[in-house]
Amino acid sequence: MHFLFATRDELFITIAKIAILLFIVLTVNAYLTWFERKVVAHIQSRWGPHRVGPHGLLQPLADGVKFFFKEDPTPAGVDRLAYFLAPLLALALALTSIAIIPFGPEPLRLFGHDIYLGIAPLNLNIGILALFAITALGVYGVVLAGWASNSKYPLLGGLRSSAQMVSYELALTMSVVGVLLMAGSFNLRDIINAQGPMPGHPDRGMIGWNIWPQILGFFCFFIAAVAETNRVPFDLPEAEQELVAGFHTEYASFKFAMFFIAEYTSMITVSCLGTIMFFGGWLSPFPASWTLTHYLPSVVLIPFGLWLVLDGFRYETVLGRVVLPAVGTVITALGLVFIVFPHVNAFIQAPFWFLSKVLLFLFVYVWMRGTLPRFRYDQLMAFGWKLLLPVALVNVALTSFVIAAKLQWGAK
């Protein structure tokens, strides 16, 4: 195995990538909470946060400051090692899983180095298995938190939550096997490329995505992913009406924030995984020959930026009247840059489509939170074992049949 880093420069580039990605992920987490609160509020016919900063955009900052300054008591009788280890483990594992996700096919050429988007090396042959390994270890954060808290509700919540995570992990891994059979590799970049232009179909857009042949697998994956991240409708272990707050009851400000960030980060990871496996990752839904669609990023950004500027002029507070037009101008300028410089535009296509699809997934997650009631625990476990796992296995069997039949009777 060629060893870790070929040159010293690669080491520094990787460290820089890690730092930048960490910053981006934490910021996206913070604004994901804002997004969730706003969307759920609008579903419930109210406004959500709108006082702290224009449109409530500074709310995550206020929450962060609150977490920083709130008292952080440690209950009596806790098992010290496990109590302090659990949130650390949950957060570290959730953030590590982001390192495996590739964000774009082409590298940035800076200072004579090829900087690929994504921290994991290009030839990580066990790409998705590594992701599942990290998810499998994530159960420990929950179970240790529940047990170490020396209290009834966290113990019950921890046991239920970890049993739920282990059960739905099976369905999650099985549902993805169909995609792996079709792509023939564990490597995430290969899986995306297998949904793109192929020798027999040089110009397919959305038709080549895995969602069409693997619709069963996609539904299994999505439901299992929602259960795995403990989100509604599978959030019984941490619901307020049921178990006080489940496994993180006894955790106060900063440690609770770590669990919180871990949950939202795993939500983001699973959304990225869903887009990579089933929705073509960074591939455009339009065939490559429709070159006008390359201007879609600008077509989206410029009107959005102009709308922000106009909205800012009419905003109530002074801060809003200054900040919103500034942000709107930046976004409009970005859109114009993409029109003016074609090679920047070519580079930005892949990350743009990737991020839009991930955003769509996250919106569906938040939409489900605002709309659906939650499962009872026995219904949840029965659903995972008796419905989801058999359906995933049927999907694997069907996919194997079709692939074997194609091999047997020649490609169509």
Partner 1 sequence: MGGEMTEPLLVFFVLAALAVIGAVSLILQKHPIHSALSLIVVMVALAGLYLLMGAEFVAAVQIIVYGGAIMVLFVFVIMLLNAGAEERTSLSKMAGPPGLLLVAALAAFVAATIARSGSSVQAAAQTGALSSTKGISEMIFRDFVYPFELTSILILVAILGATVLAQREKS
Q: Which residues bind partner 1 (CB under 8 A)?
A: 1, 3-4, 79, 81-82, 85, 125-126, 129-130, 132-133, 135-137, 139-140, 143-144, 147, 155, 159, 162-163, 166, 169, 173, 186
Instruction: In angstroms, give the least distance from the CB of 228 to partner 1.
Output: 12
CB nearer to partner 1: give 1 or 292. Answer: 1
CB nearer to partner 1: give 146 or 335. Answer: 146
State how far the Cα of 365 lies from the Cα of 227, in Å rounded to an integer.
11
Instruction: In angstroms, give the least distance from the CB of 335 to partner 1.
Output: 42
Q: Which H or E element spans position 398? A: helix 389-408
Q: Which H or E element spans position 30? A: helix 8-43
Number of alpha carbons in the 13 Å side-chain half-sphere of residue 282: 19
| Residue 180 vs residues 10, 201, 217, 399: alpha-carbon distances, Å | 30, 20, 11, 10
With beta carbons less than 8 A apart as the criterion, state whether 391 and 220 touch. Answer: yes
Structure tokens at 130: 């590594």
Instruction: In angstroms, give the least distance from the CB of 166 to partner 1.
Output: 6
Q: What is the CA radius of gyration of the chain?
A: 23
CB nearer to partner 1: give 74 or 125. Answer: 125
Strands (E), 102-229: 108-110, 113-115
CB nearer to partner 1: give 170 or 336. Answer: 170
Instruction: In angstroms, give the least distance from the CB of 125 to partner 1.
Output: 6
Q: Does a cis peptide bond (omega within 30 degrees of 0) precede residue 233? A: yes
For residue 386, what is the DSSP state? I
CB nearer to partner 1: give 28 or 143. Answer: 143
Instruction: In angstroms, give the least distance from the CB of 219 to partner 1.
Output: 23
Q: What is the largest CA-CA distance in the chain?
A: 71
CB nearer to partner 1: give 185 or 293. Answer: 185
For residue 252, what is the DSSP state? -
Which of 265, 142, 225, 216 has its CA nearest to residue 392?
216
CB nearer to partner 1: give 4 or 318. Answer: 4
Instruction: In angstroms, give the least distance from the CB of 57 to partner 1.
Output: 39
Instruction: In angstroms, give the least distance from the CB of 137 to partner 1.
Output: 6
